Structure 1
Amino acid sequence: MADAPVAVVVPVKGGPLAKTRLGLELASRRDLADAFARDTVAAVRAGLPDSPVLVVTSDVVASGWAREAGCGVVDDPGAGLDAAVTAGVAQAARAGSRFALVLLGDHPALRPSEIAAVVRESVHRAPAFVPDADGHGTACLLVPTGPEAPATRFGAGSAAAHAALGYTVLEPDAPGLRTDVDDAGSLADALGLGVGRWTRSALARASLPGVQATIHRSPDDGPGSALLDDGVEVRVPLAALASSGLLHLRVGQRVSIELDATGLVATRVWVVGIGDGEPIR
């Protein structure tokens, strides 16, 4: 694997603070974050079989599966994402790679063909980056290694920041690559594209908590919906009321909701104190 022209650097946060915006309980959130990263790495290794993959992390669990997958592991210096990227790119340079493709470990719908095509397109245009689906973030970037490696500016507004630093903007037809999962909405987008086996397994294990919502359209006479407290509209099928003890829902009524794996469809709707197993409290 020495002297491979392009190494892939995958920062993986891991631990209890990973993917907090998913709004899940800790065990499910950590499990899903791990699964996203494993599916990302699996797609990279399939699409770029000759490229070394370096996982940058301080998480013991992530380090373990990364080594099992044949990846190198670089210790995260703990000074933020850009510092983690710098550590990974520096290791790629020491190993003899001329370029480093930096890809965060949150692309569970990534296709091997997408990552292979991006490397072919970007390697002669480096430094270059691919914006994420909404155009504000950075899905991946490719930089030369060594002393000429440019700075990175991951975080809010990173697409504009990287463009301002002189990176070439690439806009490939690569929806899996450009869908990074941070919240319920982006998870639903990834599920619509089709996610990898690790994410599918983690979703099957996930415990999705009840959340508070306000009925937006009653399901009595057709498709119903509710607004979560963060403003996201979710579908409320009539079947979600089956075991709730509720006969009707009125627009504006406050309810508790359990959601399916996409976070966009209610599987159970109830009011505290009404229905089986819901004592008044």
Structure 2
Amino acid sequence: MMEHVTVGEMTLYWLDGGVTHLDGGAMFGVVPKPLWSRKYPYNEKNQIELRTDPIFFQLYGKNILIESGIGNGKLTDKQKRNYGVTEESRIDRSLSVFGLTREDIDIVLMTHLHFDHACGLTMPDDTNGYVPSFPNAAIYVSETEWDEMRHPNIRSKSTYWKENWEAIQHQVQTFKEEVTIEGKVRMVHTGGHSDGHAIIMAESGGEKWIHMADLLPTHAHRNPLWVMAYDDYPMTSIFQKQKWIEEAIRDNAWFVFYHDAVYRALKWDTDGNMIEKVEREKMPV
């Protein structure tokens, strides 16, 4: 059975979006290895496993995705090696469980557009170069993020690729500071990890969930000071983490993850103890 969490009247499912393995030191920034290695497993190359699994849910008859996965057939062998990609996306197989195809996706919510989140937005095509993976979907992203995606700076050009945006630009809907999707799901611009980074949250039946994306890429990043070397604005990340984690814990909200290879979702109490969890089960290849 596909891993899922039910929050009020909403059920969130994790699709098979592929995997990366990135340097643990980079993922935990200035935190010494003797500290972070107690919290998250690593391999002989000092890499940690980071899933790229989109979150799927249905709301008022709409099929909605959060993030898009690592994609298929877009990375060179060198890129796969550098990013530790050992599995590419199997979104089609995951969607078939619901009797759906890519064409049935109505909305894609993108917290930001780094390659490990956005590669799944387009697919290689022999005739047109790249085509939309979800041709009938509205794609939501912050205006700041969309602008930088198309005009990256010297640092961000390594992760904002034209292959991931040119084919879908007619589908993109941007917002400045906040937008509410279908009257229920909030996207809030936070900055931090990237200048345009956003988080996503919703309330249903008196319960709440929050997806903090790369402000909280794994459960091991709960400490507000544990931010990635990949963060463009680390002090903003720290401020936003402290604000939203504290609020979500007060609200007894579920934290849901895109990257975490150990937990799909969890709740913490005010002392930082894990009080509920949905563990990731490794699926057969």
Superposition TM-score, scaled by structure 2 size: 0.31
Superposition TM-score, scaled by structure 1 size: 0.31
The structure whose Rg is larger is 1
